[in-house]
Structure 1
Amino acid sequence: MRSSVRVSGGLKVTGAGLAALLLAAGAVGCSKGSDEQSPAMTPAAAVAKAAKNSEDITSLRYRMDGKMPGAGSVNGEAAMSMKPLAMSMKMTSSQSPDPVEIRLVGQALYINGGAEAAKEMDGKSWMKLGSAALGDAAKDLNADSMGAAQADQNPATESTFLTGSKDVKKVGTETVDGVKTTHYKGTVTLAELRKAMKSGDKETRERREKSLQQYEKMGADKLTMDMWIDGSDHTKRFRMNSDTGNGPLDMTITFLDYNKPVTVKAPPAAQTVDLAQMMKDAQSQG
């Protein structure tokens, strides 16, 4: 069965659209490197150093593959710039036959529903959630539970999560997309993450808290995490999985590059329906 949510005016966001909203937050920091991480470094120190390096990332591109609660199997690619904030993601889901694209430009989130959405929107395939109406729109879409509220967070944030684990261990050395890496693994509860989050500046703590809330809404309270760290002490690949009670969470993200220019443009206005205006029209009509 295809899952969907209905918004004002009869619009529905289905399958990959739900997953795209969930994944808009992304995952971890990244880098390229030619040699595996130093064997002299302890597992905890290696993970902490990679987490620290993620704070300097200003943009990144990544590939995703796995399963998300409520969305089934998903895969796609994304690019994100932190300053200025912009994001573009294209992905597919087992619950939807059509690929979905989302873009975050400034304070506006755009969702391309493809041909099916165009049939319900006078030939327009893009839907816009502007900042002024995002709160009400998110309620109508149930988008907050799908991660829309976290769409503007730094996707490098979750690379710091494994630092809260008490059982980090080295698995071995592996080659990921031609890059030699060292593989680490550990488990961490959300309670342990919150305790570890008390250190650091206010902005960093707020980003981490938003990410934790995302996982709480999925139904996860404990994460098993894998990190593949390259010779430059950055995360090349990251995997997290959990039994959420709402379906399996098992997502792997591989980073293609970082700190390279990322440009994202808003869709043409002629192809876009403004959800805020649609909601106003619906309210005025009772």
Structure 2
Amino acid sequence: MLKRTISMTAAGAALVVAAVAGCGSNAQPIQVNLAASEVLAQAAQKTAEVTSYTVDAVVNVAHPQEGSGKVQGRMLYQSKPQLAADVTLDTVDMGGRSVPGGVRAVLQGDTVYVKVQALNDFLGNTKPWIKVSLSDTGHAGEVNQYLGQIQQFDLASVTKLVTASQDVKSVGTESVNGEDATHYSGTFPVEVAVQQLPAEQQEQARKNLAELKDVKFDIWVAADGLPRKLALNGSKEGATLDATLFFKGYNESVNIETPPADQVGELPKGTTN
């Protein structure tokens, strides 16, 4: 039961953070006459330079055996002065099993603080937060496995995936949260797309996309060359993914604080074994 709860919670967090960004931007307005594929290539380069941003996400999944699920939430992200993220999942419903009260997770460096009422109830924990060291693989293996994706799957990586498209095209200019952006649409083959990533990220990417074949995407890119919205849709043998993410606040200051020490407990060793 606990292992399932942690897996569902962490997997939900991983889905939301599957589009986190990399490092600082010197974005310049893109040229309107660039081919769609060139725009995506420039976007991939620019997102790799982003140091902070905010994302709102809705992810719907379905599987013939495991049922349907939904994750909805938001995240603050920064890469400097150290990697940090603040994830709030208002809805975590996977395979008909929901997490009452949602999920909150704060990452600072190699430590994650998780707030899940169902987990606290199971452990008999009297403090609202649980602290887990991601560097201690023997302490909480499954939490490490999933939340490690914060570092492995970022906005830069997702943008690299779409550069594998051979059929991307511009489909017009639209407003995204009051800002003009050019809408590009296309598909990418999963195996070819994964090869666009650094070698150390490819295995995890294959695991995340294992149930999908060709993925349809829509991406809205503003004049500074950075995405404002990304939608991914894929299916294979009855399994489906439908994800929409909205990005804002590039390179703006974010405030990510760890919970007060007197509200934090430890996850007992061997809990997830």
| Separation of aligned partners in 2, 1:281 and 1:182 | 48
| Separation of aligned partners in 1, 2:188 and 2:19 | 19
What TM-score do the two structures reach when normalised by structure 2? 0.80
| Separation of aligned partners in 2, 1:127 and 1:98 | 16
The sequence identity of aligned pairs, in percent, is: 24
Cα deviation digits, residues 137-175 of structure 1 (max 9, x gap): 224x6x63xx32312234332112111111111121111
Pairwise CA distance, 1:280:
5.4
Asked whether the 8 Å contact 2:47–2:155 carries over to 1, the reply is: no
- Amino acid aligned to 2:147: A
The runs of 4+ residues in structure 1 deviating greater than 6 Å are: none
The equivalent residue for 2:119 is: 117
- Confirm whether residue 265 of structure 1 aligns to residue 257 of structure 2: yes
Asked whether the 8 Å contact 2:56–2:75 carries over to 1, the reply is: yes
Instruction: Quickly say closer, same or farther: Cα 1:55–1:135, change in 2 above 3 A.
Output: farther
The equivalent residue for 2:13 is: 20
| Separation of aligned partners in 2, 1:130 and 1:176 | 38
Structure 2, unaligned stretches of length 5 or more?
23-28
DSSP 3-state at the match of 1:23: helix
| Count of matched residue pairs | 257
Q: Which of 128, 131, 135 is equivalent to 1:128?
A: 131
DSSP 3-state at the match of 1:57: coil
- Confirm whether residue 64 of structure 1 aligns to residue 57 of structure 2: yes
DSSP 3-state at the match of 2:249: strand
The equivalent residue for 1:97 is: 100
What TM-score do the two structures reach when normalised by structure 1? 0.77
Instruction: Quickly say closer, same or farther: Cα 1:44–1:280, change in 2 above 3 A.
Output: closer
Instruction: Quickly say closer, same or farther: Cα 1:233–1:155, change in 2 above 3 A.
Output: closer
| Separation of aligned partners in 1, 2:134 and 2:9 | 23
The equivalent residue for 2:269 is: 279
Instruction: Quickly say closer, same or farther: Cα 1:27–1:106, change in 2 above 3 A.
Output: closer
Cα deviation digits, residues 11-69 of structure 1 (max 9, x gap): 9437655412332333568xxxxxx9654221111111111111210111111123145
| Separation of aligned partners in 2, 1:281 and 1:171 | 50
| Separation of aligned partners in 2, 1:55 and 1:282 | 34
- Confirm whether residue 6 of structure 1 aligns to residue 2 of structure 2: yes
Structure 1, unaligned stretches of length 5 or more?
30-35, 198-204
| Separation of aligned partners in 1, 2:196 and 2:14 | 27
Instruction: Quickly say closer, same or farther: Cα 1:132–1:57, change in 2 above 3 A.
Output: closer
Instruction: Quickly say closer, same or farther: Cα 1:169–1:82, change in 2 above 3 A.
Output: same
Pairwise CA distance, 1:179:
0.6
DSSP 3-state at the match of 1:232: coil
Asked whether the 8 Å contact 2:212–2:239 carries over to 1, the reply is: no
- Confirm whether residue 74 of structure 1 aligns to residue 71 of structure 2: yes
Please provide the CA RMSD for this pair. 3.1
Give the structure, 1 or 2, with the largest relative contact order (CA under 8 Å, sep 6 or more): 1
The equivalent residue for 1:174 is: 174
Asked whether the 8 Å contact 2:92–2:102 carries over to 1, the reply is: yes
| Separation of aligned partners in 2, 1:68 and 1:261 | 33
Cα deviation digits, residues 206-245 of structure 1 (max 9, x gap): 465266245245x234321111011111111111121255
Pairwise CA distance, 1:135:
5.5
| Separation of aligned partners in 2, 1:46 and 1:195 | 19
- Amino acid aligned to 1:228: W
| Separation of aligned partners in 1, 2:47 and 2:162 | 13
DSSP 3-state at the match of 1:127: strand
Asked whether the 8 Å contact 2:55–2:248 carries over to 1, the reply is: yes
